[in-house]
A and B are shown apart, each in its own frame.
Chain A
Amino acid sequence: MTSAPAGPSQPGTEPDPSVTSLDQLTVTVEATAQPPTIALAGELDPHTAPLLQREIDQILERGSTDLVLDLRALGFVDSSGLRVLISAQSQLADQGGTLTLHAPSETVRRLLEITGLIDHIAITGL
């Protein structure tokens, strides 16, 4: 796993956005955006899903109630990735917030349709 700042940062503060990669998944986090945004590029599977889970957990620990996942560059997701999305949606909903999936690819959108998640999670950029 590698991490690198993707933009200017001040000493003592986390870079924003921050970029973390694990093999076939790159996660770019804009924690200070309103709402916070996580952009995913690559493939979300049992190997990479824990990386996304960690990033979501960190954002929730900061007290955010809304979160946007930018999925435009996500080419694959399986049940392990869907479980992360479902968990995030549930946690945010419990706090009165919303998980929004932005611009899912055709492949990912089809999976959201098949599982019925498309009716339960806010989706923009279709």
Chain B
Amino acid sequence: MSAVTDAQTDSSETQTADNAGVRLVIPAQSRYLRLARLTAAGFAGDLDYGTDAIEDLRIAVDELCAAVIEDCEPGAELTVRYRDVDGVLLVDGVCDDTASSPPELHAVARELLAMLADEYEVGANERGRTFRLVKRPRPIG
């Protein structure tokens, strides 16, 4: 069964609530990254983010998800949570591959994230490889 079908039929895989945001659980495989991008775009669209901000977000989420799932064990899952905190979009993710070291971002990915994300970080803990992303609707300055 594909992740799309899982997300549509199994409420345990995708949860929505006004304050809890959206939680997406997908196989930790690159072919499912588009679901993380789609969810990011939909969530930001509901928050009235502009077109450029949504595109920035899609790319940033893609880059960070790609980093945490790279070379992970077969069967691992990627959980991505999207939240609106006081009008700022927070995205955090974890790939439950506990044998992994912290993700390494390629140079081009780092360059893109520096331009497109307001804040981001990657790491690893007892739950696996993790990332956190902050995207504001517009630059603060």
Contacts and interface: CB of A to CB of B under 8 A. Distances in A.
Interface residues of A, number: 18
Interface stretch (B7-15, B29-37, B127-135): B29-37
A24 interface: yes
B66 interface: yes
Contact of A79 (B29, B30, B34, B106): B106
A78 B52 CA distance: 15
Interface in B61-103: 62-63, 66, 70
A32 interface: no
Contacts of A86: 108
Nearest to B31: A47
Size category, B interface: 20 to 34
Contacts of A80: 66, 106
Which label, helix, strand, loop or mixed, suits the secondary structure of the B interface?
Answer: helix
B63 A79 contact: yes
Interface stretch (B18-26, B42-50, B109-117): B109-117
Contact of A76 (B29, B37, B52): B37
Contacts of B115: 114-115
B91 to A, nearest CB: 15
B118 interface: no
- A-B interface, 3 closest residue pairs, ranked by CB to CB distance from nearest: A47-B30, A79-B108, A79-B109
30 contacts: A23-B31, A24-B34, A45-B33, A45-B34, A46-B33, A46-B70, A47-B29, A47-B33, A76-B37, A76-B59, A78-B59, A78-B62, A78-B112, A79-B66, A79-B106, A79-B109, A79-B111, A80-B66, A80-B106, A82-B108, A82-B112, A83-B106, A107-B55, A111-B59, A114-B112, A114-B115, A114-B116, A115-B108, A115-B112, A115-B115
